[in-house]
Amino acid sequence: MSLQVTDLRVYYRTLAGDVKALDGATFSIADKEIMGLAGESGCGKSTLGNSLIRLDGRMKYIGGSVNLDGAELPIWDNAGMNEFRFRDVSVIPQYAMSAMNPTRKIGKMTEELLESRGESYRQIRPELLRRVDLVGLDRDVLKRYPIELSGGMKQRMVMVISTLLDPSLLIADEVTSALDVSTQRAVAETLVSFRDRGFVKSMMVITHDISILYQTADTILIMYAGKLAEKAATKTIIDGCRHPYTKLLISSLPEVGIRYANKKLKGIPGSPPSLLKPPTGCRFRDRCPLAFDKCVEEPPFVEIATDHSVACWKVTGTDA
C-alpha cells in the first residue's frame, strides 16, 4: 500500500467562515497505480492534490492522516514536509507553463533545485540527460531559457524535473488541460511511461477530462462538493458506474462521432453547492434525479464490490 489517506479534512479560511473544500476523504493508492481524480471545478480535487504536498496560507488542516509507504506525512507542518517534498512526494503544477524560473537557464535552475535538496547535480546529470532524451526533447534545452520553449516542451521539461528523484507519489494537476490534442496525447503517454519505467511509484492525475483518464488511469476517483462520490477501476467507472453524479458526468461528454443532430447530450442542471455552508445530508441531493427522503442523511462511502466504493443511498441500500 503506497498511499493511504484517512478522513482528511482541509478547509479554507475566509472572512465569511471556513470553506469546507475537502471534508473527509478516505482512499488509498496502491503501488504502480495511476489514480485519476475527476469532478467539476470547485469540488475540491485540487485542494486534495495540494494538501498532499503543500498547504498554502489560506488552507487549514482540520484532521485526518496521510500515510506514504508506512511513514506519516506531516502535512500540517510546512517545514516538516520539506523532507518529503520532491524526494517522496512531487507535483506537476497546474500551470507548468509558468512553473519554471524565467531568469535562469533550465540546466542552471535544475542544478540549484537539486542542490537545495542536498543532491549532487553532477551525479544526477547523466540520468537527467537520459530522461530529456526519453521525453523527446533536445539535450540543448538545458542551455536555454524557459521562454525559448513551446508550451508542450515546457510541460515535458517540468515533468522530467519533477520526477528526477524518483518520487514515490506524483501529483499531476490538470497537466493536459491547456494543451492541444496532439501534445495532450504525447504528455499523457509520457506520464504513463514514467510509471512503467519506475520513475514514480504511484500517481494521482487530477483533471476534469474523464476521457483523458480513460486513456491513462488505472482507477478513477470522482469527487463532488468536497466529498468522495465513487471510486473504482477505470473500466468500471466508464461502463458500470453506480453514483448518479458519475453517470450524469459521463453522459455529458461529447465524443467524436456524436452529433447534435443525432443525439442531443444533456448537462447536469444546477450548480455545485456553496462549500461555505454545505448542505447537510447528501450534497448532490438538489441536483440528483434519484433523490428521495433518505438523502437528508449523509450517505457513507462504502465498498459495494471489490475495489468499487460509492456514497449513495440508492446504491448501498437504506439499511447500510
Of 89 and 249, nearer to another protein (C-beta) is 249
Shortest approach of another protein to residue 109 CB, angstroms? 24
Measured distance CA(149)–CA(281) in Å, rounded: 49
Of 31 and 189, nearer to another protein (C-beta) is 189
> Can you give the binding site for another protein, defined by CB under 8 A?
40-41, 151, 180-185, 188-189, 208-212, 214-215, 238-239, 248-250, 252-260, 264-268, 271
With the CA atoms of 87, 27, 78 and 175 taken in that order, what torsion angle do they form, in degrees rounded to the nearest 10? 60
Shortest approach of another protein to residue 267 CB, angstroms? 4
Shortest approach of another protein to residue 190 CB, angstroms? 12
Backbone angles phi, psi at 128, to 5 degrees: -60, -45
Shortest approach of another protein to residue 119 CB, angstroms? 35
Measured distance CA(275)–CA(278) in Å, rounded: 5
Of 3 and 237, nearer to another protein (C-beta) is 237
Of 43 and 161, nearer to another protein (C-beta) is 43
Shortest approach of another protein to residue 12 CB, angstroms? 16
Of 189 and 303, nearer to another protein (C-beta) is 189
Of 158 and 249, nearer to another protein (C-beta) is 249
Shortest approach of another protein to residue 229 CB, angstroms? 13
